[in-house]
Amino acid sequence: MSHPEPPRPGRGAWIVFCLAALVSLAFAFQTDLRWEDYYITFRASKNLATGNGLVFQVGQRVHTYTSPLGTLLPAFTSWISGGNSDEAALWIFRAISIAFFAGSVALVWRLGRAWGWRPAVCALTAGLLLTDAKSVSFTINGMETGILLFFLALCLHVHAAGARRPAWALGVAWAGLMWSRPDGFIYIGATAAGFWFFPSAQRLAGSRGRLLATYLKSGLVCALLYGPWVAWAWRYYGSPIPNTVVAKTTGHPFPPLPVLLGRFAALPFRAWHEHLGSLLFMPAYFASGGWPAWNLVACDSIAVVALITVILPRMRPEARVLSLAALAGLFYVTNTDMYPWYIPAATFLTIVALGGLCESVQRLLPASGPARPALLLPWAAVVLLSATLLAESSWQLKWQQRIIEGQRKDIGLWLRANSPSPTDTVFLESLGYIGYYSQLKMYDYPGMSSPEVVAARKKYGENWVVLIGALRPKWLILRPSEYAGNRLKYNDWFHGHYNLAAVFDCRDKVNALRGLPGWGFLAFDETFFVYRYNEEAGD
């Protein structure tokens, strides 16, 4: 099939690149957010940078991170900053992540122009992406999100614009997704399936057969570029599967195929009552409370429109591709042990699907008259809502960092100062800050840094009293909800073997912020109990 040459992107791509970078930098300076899980990864990164190996606990080879690039790049930034400035290492990594994220927004502009979208549609689509609260926050807070979104955008752009060596270009994009996070194959499969079902949206091959051949060659390129990491991890850790994945999937049986197919078919129609649109567009942990109900209704409605685009009549082929890929991405994140940094890739596909929908409807309207410009007003309103949520999220996360994360850091430093031995063990769920700043041996639940916890869960189940009894950690760090929910309050064995050593409580500071957007997210972590093992209790 023949395609007209796409228009040159001009300065538009550079403008949206700069805007995305400025928004992300402003968010970083406003919040200074350092995500809890960044410190899980960074403990291994810094050990590598200082010559102790790519391990969380020195001397124990456990694959305690998920993203290769999200771990190796902080190791590099720590190394070039001398290994003694965590602040410099994080800000250099932030700069790298922001560049990748801004590049993803610029590629959205370019792929829209490659599909022949109007500049206004490209601009609004890019605007919605660069104001998405989760995408921006997980770009600057130490996670790998900005890198992942760049390679996802590159994957789409290679399909939309073509390439001189399509198998190599697409293979590089696919390898980048895998290096960003090992669940990148989900988005490789989702986008490849979409373009195969609707091949007129791509420029890589003229038929489904040739496209499939290109995919096979791209898969070989991807394997060539990502395979060495798999081989090294297998040799170094004894398994190519990260211990984080093993820990998260233990105790979560996979549903039967008919159940999964039913869930997939019903996904667009579950969006309202399960708030799947809010999952895509609202800030992280919105379900903790503190957000207006109308925000959730608006986000759910926007998502439903994007998710059903694949079955709407007279839609452009790229709109159907993106809608199908967004459905697959959302289906994945809603059928896993979901964490908010898993979501931006599905949000990204949903946003670009909305752009395809907008362009499709524009072309169905008369070329003259007010209908086409008027259609952009709801699209602009969606961008305004997204920008408002981003601003509110920056306010929320500024206090999250100052109060909650500051307290978790204090707990880690307290443990380090009060532990008689550096080999003391700590059982907790909140692994990042406390694990990094204490530098003690962690028995975290569900066991991301601890194969001992995974083994105990497989043997004894999920009862915390039983797990604590089997592991006998020196210290316990518990939220009140964990203390009550696991019925530790009423267990004689527990109180006979553990004494309350300290309470860290910032409720007064959190309560002073009632009315803050997303206030419930802060309240969840406002109090921690620290228990110490009673050496005189015996067995």
Joined tokens for residue 300: 């759910």
Q: Do both 386 and 406 map to the same domain?
A: no
pLDDT at 536: 73
Q: Which pLDDT tens digit goes with each residue over 60-75?
A: 999 999 999 999 999 9
Mean pLDDT value across residues 115-131: 95
pLDDT at 448: 94
pLDDT at 507: 96
Q: Do both 42 and 174 map to the same domain?
A: yes
Q: pLDDT above 90 covers what percent of the chain?
A: 79
Q: Do both 329 and 404 map to the same domain?
A: no
Give strand ranges (E) for 403-505.
Answer: 425-428, 441-444, 475-478, 498-505
pLDDT at 538: 64
Q: Do both 271 and 407 map to the same domain?
A: no
pLDDT confidence band for 8 (50 / 70 / 90): low
| Backbone conformation region of residue 336, classed left if phi is above 0, alpha if psi is from -120 to 50, else beta | beta
Q: Do both 240 and 263 map to the same domain?
A: yes
Rounded CA gap, 143 and 152, in Å?
16
Q: Do both 359 and 448 map to the same domain?
A: no
Domain hosting 502: range is 398-537
Q: Is residue 20 domain-resident?
A: yes
pLDDT confidence band for 334 (50 / 70 / 90): confident
Establish whether the linkage from the previous residue to 446 is cis, with ω within 30° of 0.
Answer: yes
pLDDT at 1: 39
Q: Which pLDDT tens digit goes with each residue over 477-501?
A: 999 999 887 778 778 888 899 999 9
Q: Is residue 4 domain-resident?
A: no
Joined tokens for residue 380: 């602009």
pLDDT at 336: 78
pLDDT at 90: 97
Q: Do both 264 and 403 map to the same domain?
A: no
Q: Quick check: 216 pLDDT over 90?
A: yes
Mean pLDDT value across residues 283-312: 93
End position of a domain, from candidates 334, 368, 397: 397
Q: Is residue 200 domain-resident?
A: yes
CB within 8 Å of 34: residues ≥ 6 apart: 90, 141, 142, 401, 405
DSSP for 68-125, written as a single string: HHHHHHHHHHHHHTTTS-HHHHHHHHHHHHHHHHHHHHHHHHHHHHHTT--HHHHHHH
pLDDT at 10: 67
Q: What's the chain's average pLDDT?
A: 92
CB within 8 Å of 377: residues ≥ 6 apart: none
pLDDT at 16: 96
Q: Do both 337 and 481 map to the same domain?
A: no
pLDDT confidence band for 539 (50 / 70 / 90): low
| Backbone conformation region of residue 426, classed left if phi is above 0, alpha if psi is from -120 to 50, else beta | beta
pLDDT confidence band for 535 (50 / 70 / 90): confident
Q: Do both 461 and 487 map to the same domain?
A: yes
Q: Is residue 525 domain-resident?
A: yes
pLDDT confidence band for 285 (50 / 70 / 90): very high
Number of domains in the chain: 2
pLDDT confidence band for 537 (50 / 70 / 90): low
Q: Do both 364 and 472 map to the same domain?
A: no
pLDDT at 7: 45
Q: Which pLDDT tens digit goes with each residue over 177-203?
A: 999 999 999 999 999 999 999 999 999
pLDDT confidence band for 369 (50 / 70 / 90): low
The dihedral through the CA atoms of 532, 522, 467, 446 has a sign that is negative
Q: Do both 304 and 435 map to the same domain?
A: no
pLDDT at 6: 46
| Range of lowest pLDDT (231-240, 242-251, 320-329, 437-446) | 242-251
Q: Do both 189 and 335 map to the same domain?
A: yes
Rounded CA gap, 529 and 411, in Å?
10
End position of a domain, from candidates 350, 369, 397: 397
Rounded CA gap, 134 and 37, in Å?
15
Q: Is residue 237 within 8 Å of 61, Cβ to Cβ?
A: yes
End position of a domain, from candidates 397, 424, 445: 397
